[in-house]
Amino acid sequence: MDTGCTLAALAGVDQSDPEAVQALLQTCIGTLLDPVLWWWALALTIVCAVVGALIGRMKGRWLAGLLWGVLLGPIGWIVIALSTPVAQGCPECGQPNAASAASCRHCGVDLRSAAQRSQRSRLKRDDWASRRRD
């Protein structure tokens, strides 16, 4: 009889022999509880999480990439790679910029200070600019 935990060993075990069934069960449990197997699973999970976070970082969604990488591995990489990037719209020109951008790549305005301005101050500025043109 095969001493490994395989489907062939499972199909070939004599079910009327309790010692053979018990021996195969012990072999399979020993295989599943092998620390080397768990270290490989942990290492693979960490690699999938890091790659997913890197792909997500390019999309402005590193945490989502990390989670998709941990949960689904390479399939999660595809999910985050196909997701829409988080784009921060410029309050001045309205063009999209990366979420981590400090200034607009189109008009050059400082995005952090522009984001802190209120809607009312923007409306006043636009109103003032339209009066100056007239």
Residue 1 has pLDDT above 60, yes or no: no
Q: Which residues contact 66 (CB under 8 A, 6 or more apart)?
A: 49, 52, 53, 56
Residue 91 has φ and ψ, to the nearest 5°, of -70, -15
pLDDT-above-70 percentage for the chain: 81
pTM for the structure as a whole: 0.57
Please give the full DSSP string across 82-94, using - where no structure is assigned. Answer: HSPP-EEEPTTT-
pLDDT tens digits for 37-82?
A: 999 999 999 999 999 999 998 888 899 999 999 999 999 999 999 9
- State mean pLDDT over 26-33: 90
Within its chain, how far is the Cα of 54 from the centroid?
A: 8
Across all residues in the chain, what is the average pLDDT?
A: 83
- State mean pLDDT over 89-100: 74
- Which of 71-80, 115-124, 125-134 has maximum average pLDDT? 71-80
